[in-house]
């Protein structure tokens, strides 16, 4: 029998056997709905963890010179930026308190960080211009705290010994969000830094990148080096993802297995009820293979309808509840459900094809 004829007959028999078709739709729909509401949320959480691990804040590592060893400077910074696993690198000096010079010592004290190199790597200049060495930019979110209406004037240290002209306002870039609490000053040439902040291209390369950076910095006193690396965080995230994935796979197998069992029961019951019709087809010359294909295709048609309804419902429920499930995962659940239903229909279909058509037709 040709495929087109098989499809036409499968659709006709599915429409004729409304009870078994509706039961198959309901079973597959419940299977997809249960899978998405349980395993789908677990998958959404795993995708969220993986996405967060790709953000710049999670890929940041820092090396702090706690004893003033001088190994964080413009020369070592330039070399670190050429490491293959380094996406960006910037150096900061030791922060100090400063006040609005027009207000004087009675003004609000806020932290100021010296920056070695370009300020626009650390913060986006949103008003004014990029500061030059010896000039300052203030955080746009702290203008009122500084007592400023516009980024003009000057900052002065608490003792009043050093002044820095204000030439702009900035918005801190990731992963320098903490620098939004005060201001930035471009360090003079030859100045030494205290902290080296590096954004790596992948958290998996954290350990090797730390080794490369330390070999470049070559601190003489290892006790004066403090390293903050995302390596431990990456390992924790990998372990968590592995556990969630294992749990999700196990639960998905159980749901699909239970759904497949019920689909097989529905198809077997339908085969037993309609065995005279199947026997008549065998008597008229339909081959066993065509009969198996007919029963399987009829089940697949109704299963795909149930999968579409279940996946749509599960996806909407997860969206509304704040656990959005990726579309590709949702589609994969639907495909798996249809495949399981088709496989579950094979044993009853094979049983129907093995019935003796003469005996079936003689049965009252």
Claim to verify: residue 49 and residue 64 sit in the same structural domain: no
Are 5 and 247 contacting, i.e. CB atoms less than 8 angstroms apart?
Answer: no
| Host domain of residue 170 | 60-230
Claim to verify: residue 218 and residue 277 sit in the same structural domain: no
Cα 317 to Cα 230: distance, rounded to the nearest angstrom: 35
Claim to verify: residue 241 and residue 168 sit in the same structural domain: no
Which of the listed residues 230, 264, 299 is the one where a domain comes to its end?
A: 230
Which of the listed residues 210, 230, 250 is the one where a domain comes to its end?
A: 230
> Residues near 98 by Cβ (< 8 Å), separated by ≥ 6?
109, 110, 111, 112, 155, 156, 157, 158, 164, 182, 183
Claim to verify: residue 72 and residue 206 sit in the same structural domain: yes
Claim to verify: residue 81 and residue 218 sit in the same structural domain: yes
* Alpha-carbon distance values, 313 to 34, 87, 102, 113, 321 (Å): 10, 42, 63, 52, 12
Claim to verify: residue 210 and residue 299 sit in the same structural domain: no
Claim to verify: residue 74 and residue 19 sit in the same structural domain: no
Claim to verify: residue 134 and residue 15 sit in the same structural domain: no
Claim to verify: residue 222 and residue 205 sit in the same structural domain: yes
Q: Domain tally for the chain?
A: 2
Which of the listed residues 184, 200, 230 is the one where a domain comes to its end?
A: 230
Claim to verify: residue 175 and residue 253 sit in the same structural domain: no
pTM of the predicted structure, to 2 decimals: 0.61
Cα 57 to Cα 162: distance, rounded to the nearest angstrom: 33
pLDDT value, residue 333 = 93
pLDDT value, residue 45 = 75
pLDDT tens track, the chain, 364 positions = 576 766 777 677 777 778 888 999 999 999 999 999 888 887 777 777 767 666 666 688 889 999 888 999 999 999 999 999 898 899 999 999 999 999 988 889 999 999 998 888 899 999 999 999 999 999 999 999 999 999 999 999 998 889 999 999 999 998 889 999 999 999 998 899 999 999 888 877 888 888 899 999 988 888 889 888 776 666 677 777 777 778 888 899 999 999 999 999 998 888 777 766 666 665 555 677 777 888 888 889 999 999 999 999 999 998 898 888 888 889 999 999 999 999 999 998 887 776 655 555 455 5
Claim to verify: residue 79 and residue 223 sit in the same structural domain: yes
Claim to verify: residue 247 and residue 312 sit in the same structural domain: yes
Q: Is the CA virtual torsion 336, 341, 347, 351 positive or negative? A: negative
User: Which parts of 69-153 are beta strand (E)?
Assistant: 86-92, 96-100, 110-116, 123-128, 136-139
């Amino acid at each position: 029998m040709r495929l087109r004829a098989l499809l036409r007959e499968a659709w006709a028999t599915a429409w004729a056997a409304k009870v078994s078709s509706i039961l198959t739709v309901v079973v597959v729909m419940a299977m997809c709905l249960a899978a998405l509401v349980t395993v789908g949320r677990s998958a959404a959480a795993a995708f969220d963890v993986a996405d967060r691990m790709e953000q710049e804040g999670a890929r940041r590592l820092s090396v702090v010179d706690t004893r003033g060893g001088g190994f964080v400077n413009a020369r070592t910074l330039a070399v670190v930026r050429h490491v293959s696993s380094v996406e960006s690198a910037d150096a900061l000096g030791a922060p100090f308190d400063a006040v609005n010079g027009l207000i004087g010592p009675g003004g609000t004290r806020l932290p100021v960080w010296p920056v070695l190199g370009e300020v626009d790597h650390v913060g986006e200049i949103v008003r004014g211009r990029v500061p030059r060495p010896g000039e300052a930019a203030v955080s746009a979110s702290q203008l009122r705290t500084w007592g400023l209406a516009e980024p003009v004037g000057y900052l002065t240290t608490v003792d009043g010994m050093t002044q820095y002209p204000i030439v702009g306002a900035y918005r801190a870039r990731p992963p320098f969000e903490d620098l939004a609490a005060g201001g930035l000053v471009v360090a003079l040439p030859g100045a030494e830094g205290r902290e080296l902040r590096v954004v790596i291209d992948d958290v998996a390369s954290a350990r090797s990148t730390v080794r490369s950076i330390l070999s470049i910095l070559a601190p003489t006193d290892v006790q004066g080096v403090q390293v903050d690396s995302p390596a431990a965080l990456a390992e924790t995230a990998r372990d968590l993802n592995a556990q969630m994935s294992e749990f999700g796979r196990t639960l998905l197998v159980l749901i699909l297995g239970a759904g497949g069992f019920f689909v097989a029961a529905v198809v077997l019951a339908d085969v037993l009820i309609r065995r005279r019709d199947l026997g008549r087809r065998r008597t008229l010359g339909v081959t066993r293979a065509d009969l198996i294909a007919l029963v399987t295709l009829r089940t697949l048609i109704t299963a795909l309808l149930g999968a579409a309804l279940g996946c749509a419902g599960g996806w909407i429920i997860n969206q509304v509840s704040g656990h959005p499930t990726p579309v590709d995962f949702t589609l994969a659940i639907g495909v798996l459900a249809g495949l399981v239903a088709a496989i579950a229909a094979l044993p009853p279909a094979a049983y129907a094809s093995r019935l003796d058509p003469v005996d079936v037709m003689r049965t009252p």
